[in-house]
Amino acid sequence: MNDEARQGTGAQPPQGQPPARDPWKGLRGVMAGTLVMEAIVVALALPVVAKLGEGLSSVNGILVIALALAMLLASGVMGRPWGLYVALTLQVLMVLTVFISVTLGVLGVIFALIWVYMLYLRKQVEQHIARGQG
């Protein structure tokens, strides 16, 4: 048995050099995870929407399900250059639902604040890369 076979695959970086890191990969993962978490929260808001206000109309039900599905699908495109724009568009739509369902609008505002923080983190990553620290 040769040395490569004993060590596993031969695709390891040379000794003394750490593997190359992609600083954007972690941030994209956090953004995708936030979209998944938001989709779960929106879906779990269905009973709350049904109890509060005028109850669950077909418009409210379709809106909740459509937003949750759109967020799940958007989490899969966060690696694309336009993925962030899709996520931010969903956030704007979520906030605008306040005119249809106050409960969803309040959730939209809460998650919008989270997305503002993630945009701040994105700016920090850009600055670290510009300084050569990325």
Look at residue 17 and tell me if it is in a domain.
no
114: Cα separation from own chain's centroid: 10
Q: What pLDDT does 11 receive? A: 54
List, for residues 11-45, the tens digit of each pLDDT value: 555 676 666 677 788 889 999 999 999 999 999 98
Contact between 134 and 20 under an 8 Å Cβ cutoff? The reply is no
User: Is 60 exceeded by the pLDDT of residue 4?
Assistant: no
CA 50/CA 9 separation, integer angstroms: 55
Q: Binning pLDDT at 50, 70 and 90, where does residue 5 land? A: very low
CA 93/CA 88 separation, integer angstroms: 9
Look at residue 7 and tell me if it is in a domain.
no
Question: Mean pLDDT over residues 66-80, rounded?
Answer: 94
Q: What pLDDT does 112 receive? A: 96
- Show the DSSP H helices in 45-101 as ranges: 46-51, 58-75, 83-96
User: Is 60 exceeded by the pLDDT of residue 10?
Assistant: no
Longest dimension (CA), the chain: 72
Look at residue 18 and tell me if it is in a domain.
no
Q: What pLDDT does 20 receive? A: 62
At residue 40, the 3 state secondary structure works out as: helix
Q: How many domains does the chain have?
A: 1
Neighbours of 28 (CB within 10 A): 17
List, for residues 44-59, the tens digit of each pLDDT value: 988 887 777 666 778 7
User: Is 80 exceeded by the pLDDT of residue 3?
Assistant: no
The pair of structure tokens assigned to 94 is: 């979520």
Q: Which residues contact 34 (CB under 8 A, 6 or more apart)?
A: 111, 114, 115, 118
Look at residue 30 and tell me if it is in a domain.
yes
Range of the domain at 39: 25-129
Q: Residue 12 carries which side chain, given as an amino acid letter?
A: Q
List, for residues 76-134, the tens digit of each pLDDT value: 999 899 999 999 999 999 999 888 888 889 999 999 999 999 999 999 989 988 887 76
